[in-house]
Structures are given as structure tokens and as C-alpha cells.
Amino acid sequence: MNETEGWPTTPTQSNEKEIVPQESQIDTIYNLVASEFQVIDHFMEHGILTFHVQLGENSKEAFLRLVEKLEPLGLTPLLRKTEKQNVLRIIRKPPIKKSNILVNLGLFFATLATTFFTGYMISLGRGDLNPVDGGLIFMVTIIAILGVHEMGHKITAQKHGIEATFPYFIPGPPPAGTFGAVIMQKSLPPNRDALFDVGASGPIAGFIASAIAIFLGLPLSTYSSVPPGTATLPPPIFFWLVGPSLLPPPPQGWVPRPGEIPVIVLHPVAFAGWIGIVVTMLNLLPVGTLDGGHIAESLFKGKARTIFLIVSVIILLLTPFWLMLFFVLFFSMYKHPGPLDAISSLSTKRKIIAVIVLVIFVLSMPMPSFLY
């Protein structure tokens, strides 16, 4: 998951004293803008130097060049489309608050402790695994999955020149031992391509890491039986597809206890993979500043946000994760700021990758109970 700190996107959201360029800068800024765009008009609006520009075939690349040219001046452009004009505003880059790495480290070590304890607890009573070993195995696996997910965001953000923090791991109680991890974006992506890349990189990397854990952990899982109606983990569709070929055969002569139904007792590695799959599904819901919200914003330019929210709510209500509805509603309260260049479209290559991300989302969803 990655969050975007608030950036001004309209004149009324900015402090005029912070954004009014000095008189000596106006000509310089005008020349820089005119070097990349055909300027129709320029004026001061609420203290912001504003341009109406004509866009060409290579306006996406022109905007990226303008971002680089304004960087030494401590300025950044915002490109938006109104009913009649393409509006380019030049604002001062908001100051980036330095992160305290001690907070990241403190949360990281706390999450190590809670995930080890969780792994220890789920390994109690297993004849094939010492609880201490189970705790260490689960801790390493789940931290690796969450870390790969968040570093996918972090590395992609750096590639596009977006300021982002290191991951904040969030400790939690059993049965998961963690509430996931998050990075904070401290600057906006330059365009929709960058916004999509940041949003999609984490879930793709996290899903691959989770799949590896599942492929390694399912063959080490064991069999047991429980009374009918006992709460069990809802298996994602991905589990149903790969499970039959990965699960070991039941021990010779093994049968469920009388009156009970057979279940799979996941190895800690497979359980960590299950958590990673669920985290991927929840993060890909197209809401607010969740990863899925970034992807939806890059594809649909802010349209149909309400429809996406309704669809997300329905999906959660049809799954055992309906309590996460409060989580989704919380994130829906924050309007997505969009990229600096909100006009240029997403590249064709990324639209193809979006289909792959949709497949990942479907595979990560729990199998509907009526199909069991």
C-alpha cells in the first residue's frame, strides 16, 4: 500500500505567500513554458502564475522536460483541463518533511516480534515443526512478502523521481501478526504512466512473492479434521487452482475423525502466502489512495469514482472480509490528488499490464462459497 501526502491542486488550496513568484522569475518561467508549449495566454490567478497552453503530439514528454527545467527554481507545474482550456499552473514545490527513520525501524522490530509470536502460536501442536522454528519461518516469510510489495512501490517511485519514504510495517495481533505495511509518497507522480507504475508495482511484486510462498508451503502442509461449522480460512481462487497439484497426498490410511470434515493445516510459509494474497486483493480495490485507486485514477482520469466505491463495497460484502468495509470507506474519504499532468493518457503498454493486474485481483479473491 502507498499513501500520497496532500498537494495543492487548485489555487484555493495553496498559500499565496508561498507560491507567488518573484517579479524577476516571471519572464524566466514564461520562457521555460514557451520552450515546451504553445502559450495562448498567461496571467496571475489567486497569486499563481497560470498559462493557457496548446498541447501537441508530444505534450507528455514536453511536460516531463518542463518539470526538470523548473526543478532548480523550486517550482513545479500542474497541468489540468477545464471545459475550454488546457490550464498550466506553476506553483512552489511544497516543502518535503524529512522522515524519521527511527520510526520505521521501531515499527519494523515491533512487527518482527508480533509475527514471530503469531508463527509460534500457529505452530503449537504441529508434530512436524518446532514452535520456535515455526515462529521464525512465518516471521521471515511474511516480512519478506510485505517488504517486496512495498519496495516495489519504493523502487518504482524513485525511478520516476517521486519522493517516498521507506516502508512502515504495522504490527498486529494474531492470527496475522501484522496489519501490513505502507510507504508515504511525499510528491506527486509526474503523469498517469508514473501513477500507474507506482500503483501496480507493489501488488504485482507482492503477488509473485506470495505465490512463491504458496508453492513452497503447500507441499509442507498437513491434514486434520474439524467439526462442521468450524471457522476456516477462505481459500482464494489461486489456492483452488494450484492446490491440487501442490498438496501432498493424505498419509496412508488417514481418515477424518468421526463426525468431522477434512481440512488442510497450512504450513507457516503457506499461511504467510495466504495473508499476502489477501493483502493484494484488498490493496487492489479501486478506492481512494489504495493501490487499486492509483490504477483506476490513471486509467479513468478520476471518472466513475462513486461507481468504483460501490463495486468495492459489493465485493467485500460478498466475501468473508466484509469487516474491511470500514477500511475501504475510510480511504474513500480522501479524494485522489492525481498526477502533476492530469491530461496525458496512459500508454498502451500499461493498459495491457492493467489487464494482468485485473487477473491478479480475481485470482486473489476468495472463491464464492456456492462454487466450493
Domains plus CATH for the chain? 2-92 (3.40.109), 101-371 (no CATH)
The predicted model scores a pTM of: 0.85
pLDDT in tens, 319-359: 787 777 887 787 777 777 789 998 998 999 999 999 999 99
User: 81: which 3 cell numbers?
Assistant: 483541463
**Cα atoms in the Cβ-side hemisphere of radius 13 Å centred on 116:** 9
Neighbour tally for 356: CB within 10 Å: 12
The stretch 216-222 carries a mean pLDDT of: 92
User: In this structure, what DSSP letter does residue 341 have?
Assistant: B
Exposed/middle/buried for residue 312 (C-beta within 10 Å: 0-12, 13-18, 19+) = buried
User: 220: which 3 cell numbers?
Assistant: 509442507
At residue 190, the 3 state secondary structure works out as: coil
Residue 189 has pLDDT above 70, yes or no: yes
Reported confidence tier of residue 12, pLDDT bands at 50, 70, 90: very low
Query: How far is Cα 214 from Cα 242, in angstroms, rounded to an integer?
Result: 9
Which of 110-119, 140-149, 177-186 has the lowest average pLDDT? Answer: 177-186
241-267 burial: b if 16+ Cβ within 10 Å, else e: eeeeebbeeeeeeeeeeeeeeeebebb
Q: What is the DSSP string of 228-289?
A: TT---PPPBHHHHHHHHHHSPPPPTT--PPTT-EEEEE--HHHHHHHHHHHHHHHHTS-STT
Residue with more model confidence, 289 or 66 = 66
Residue with more model confidence, 64 or 10 = 64
Task: Check: CB of residue 206 under 8 Å from CB of residue 276.
Answer: yes
Distance linking the first and last C-alpha atoms of the chain: 30
Supply angle C-alpha 28, 83, 54, rounded to 5.
35
